[in-house]
Amino acid sequence: MAVCRSTATELAMIPQTNYSDNCPLLTQRRDQMHRRSSLNFWLLLAATLAVDGLAISWVHATTLDRAGNLYFGLTCSQISVICIGSFFSPTRRWWRLMCPVAVTLGVAILTTCLRNDSNEDYRTVFLYLSLWLPQVVILLAMLWLLQQTAYSGHWMELGGERKWQFSVAQLLVMITAVAILSTILRFATDLHFLWFIIAVWIVNNVLLAAAALIIFATRWHRILQLAAVVGSSLLLAFGIDAVSPGDPNALTVNIVQTIVLFAWFAIGEIVPRRTPFDQNSSPVLVTK
């Protein structure tokens, strides 16, 4: 008891800092990783599936052109959510990084089926894959690069300690994505005319997801975080309108993406976050 009391007193006198090996072993402090609530996750998943069902019903009842902004925003943002959630998933099985690729393929087929044009064929599937599959690959690559830096300590126990290491799952995802992209470049003839628009939307979707992730890692108030993400989405939307105006509406799509991303970060808690030391009820002591 005497050791615990003296240690607690010593901890109270030390300024709040991150963990450091220079501190005595008994007084080393570690930020605790906040794990997601299973109830919040499943409730948000049910709400997301309900909204997706309504959006698909709207597209089926009208046309993809009329309901395209909502459908496009939901699709792009949820692909980003699946990528980020799979990357930070506590499950270390190889198939977790294959989920975004499989979902992207399914979404491309579904979107092609929702179009009312009877002339749609496999080339339309490839055209949609040329938009969403590079988004998956680039976003996963960006997350992997971020994992190699000290900034990843905001989300991971050992931020920045894994230096340039590939896992078998990451290698499998890369090989699969390269094979699919090679097929797309071979058969998607419309891509030769729409490549600039598709590239602009890929950059927009990846940057918006990355900005939301980085902003959410800060210890700002939730309102300030939401305002910062909304501001980022507006800047990207204005940039798209400047270089490629027209449908889909960039402002509407990015607002939908912002709502979905922030909901999954704040409520679904797909990204682990560190709890500051002063928010813990008692100090965490590391003893010999």
Tens digits of per-residue pLDDT, 137-196? 899 888 888 887 777 777 665 444 556 666 666 677 777 777 777 777 766 666 667 788
For residues 244 and 279, the model is more confident at 244
Torsion of CA 227, 233, 173, 120, to 10 degrees: 140
pLDDT of residue 242 exceeding 80, the answer is yes
Best CA proximity match to 136, nearest among 180, 92, 72: 180
Cα 115 from Cα 124, distance rounded (Å): 10
Cα 253 from Cα 75, distance rounded (Å): 10
Token pair 């400047």 is found at 242
pLDDT of residue 124 exceeding 60, the answer is yes
pLDDT at 80: 94
pLDDT at 53: 92
Q: Among 108-117, 132-141, 163-172, which stretch is predicted with the lowest mean pLDDT?
A: 163-172
Please name the helix (run of DSSP H) or strand (run of DSSP E) that holds residue 215, with its range, or none. Answer: helix 191-216
Cα 174 from Cα 193, distance rounded (Å): 26
Q: pLDDT tens digits, residue range 197-224? A: 888 999 999 999 999 999 988 888 889 9
Q: What is the pTM of this model?
A: 0.76
Backbone angles phi, psi at 194, to 5 degrees: -110, 10
Cis peptide before 248 (omega within 30 of 0): yes
Which whole-number Å values give the CA distances from 281 to 5, 222, 276, 284, in the listed order? 15, 22, 11, 9
pLDDT at 207: 95
Residue range 7-29: mean pLDDT, rounded: 47
CA angle 26, 28, 29 (to 5 degrees): 130
Asked if residue 247 lies in contact with residue 72, where contact means CB atoms within 8 angstroms, the answer is no
pLDDT at 163: 60
